[in-house]
Structure 1
Amino acid sequence: MLKEFKEFALRGNVLDLAVGVIIGAAFGKIVTSLVNDIIMPLIGLLLAGIDFKDLSFTVGKATVLYGSFIQTIVDFLIVAFSIFLFVRFFNRFKRKEEEKVEEEMAVLSKEEEILTEIRDLLKAEAVKERS
């Protein structure tokens, strides 16, 4: 059982996932700070000095903090847009790498060129014989 756990824990995908989660958590903190400390105060200034953290209303004994909800939505949108840009950049880079590999594969070796010529000659002879 210990051997199986070691194989599972040290598998490349698990390690990549762990690194992704850690970096994602750190990135989330950065974006949260960006939204809470920079973007929302500026938006508040544009909207006559409104502080979104204080926006709330009371229903009975319950207080609904809709300002925090708005900040969380802005936070999500920034994270989603950042991830979109990263994935777009990564896919563009990956596409270029695939094109480079395809170009390298498109160049025939000397043996492949000779075999292609032989194939073409055999096809031409077969067409002549049918005629």
Structure 2
Amino acid sequence: MSLAEEFVAFLKQYQVIGLAVAFIMGVTATKVVTAAVNDLIMPIIAALLPDGDWKTAVLQLGPVKFLVGDFAGVLLEFVIIALVIFMIVKYLMKEDATEKR
């Protein structure tokens, strides 16, 4: 068996192409969620803040400054991505359970 044949067998056995496609789609979905949070959700939150700029929001407790604005945006992105992944896995597992019956 040649090296090229072994490599093709490896790709098929471990479904590397499918994994690569899933990774690329995940990266792209992350960009979509980031844009949705930054361009759609956070402007609403910015309207509620006195300064209006959520990325520079600071919580100051005495001499300590917590830069909470950017953290809040990233946290919101994480929650949305986790929720979407949960919904997809829940849907796929439901279909998998009905196929096994």
Q: TM exceeds 0.5?
A: yes
In the other structure, the counterpart of 2:17 is 15
State the identity as a percent. Answer: 35
Shift of 1:7: 2.1
Question: Structure 1, residues 74-124: CA drift from partner, whole Å, max 9, x if none?
Answer: 10110001100111111112212222xxxxxxxxxxxxxxxxxxxxxxxxx
Code of the residue aligned with 2:27 in structure 1: it is A
**Shift of residue 48 of structure 1?**
4.6
Whole-Å Cα distance in 2 between the matches of residues 78 and 49 of structure 1?
A: 25
Point out the structure with max Rg over C-alpha: 1
SS at match of 1:50: coil
Partner of 2:62: none
Q: Which deviations, in whole Å up to 9, do the C-alpha atoms of 1:15-74 show, x marking residues without a partner?
A: 1111110110111111000111111111222345632122258xxxxx975322211111
Please name the residue that 1:108 is paired with.
none
CA distance in structure 2 between the partners assigned to 1:95 and 1:46 by the alignment:
45
Give the alignment of 1:28-39 within 5 angstroms.
28-39=30-41
Superposed CA RMSD = 2.4
Q: Aligned equivalents of 2:51 and 2:85: distance in 1?
A: 31
Relative to structure 1, is the Cα distance of residues 79 and 3 closer, same or farther in structure 2, using a 3 angstrom cutoff?
same
Tell me the amino acid that sits aligned with residue 52 of structure 2: I
- In structure 2, C-alpha distance between the alignment counterparts of 1:45 and 1:53, rounded to whole Å: 12
Residue of structure 1 equivalent to 2:44: 42
1:55 corresponds to: 57
> Whose RCO is larger (CA < 8 A, sep 6+)?
2
**Aligned residue type for 2:21:** V
**Alignment match, 1:117:** none
| Structure 2 counterpart of 1:76 | 78
Describe the SS at the equivalent of 2:15. Answer: helix
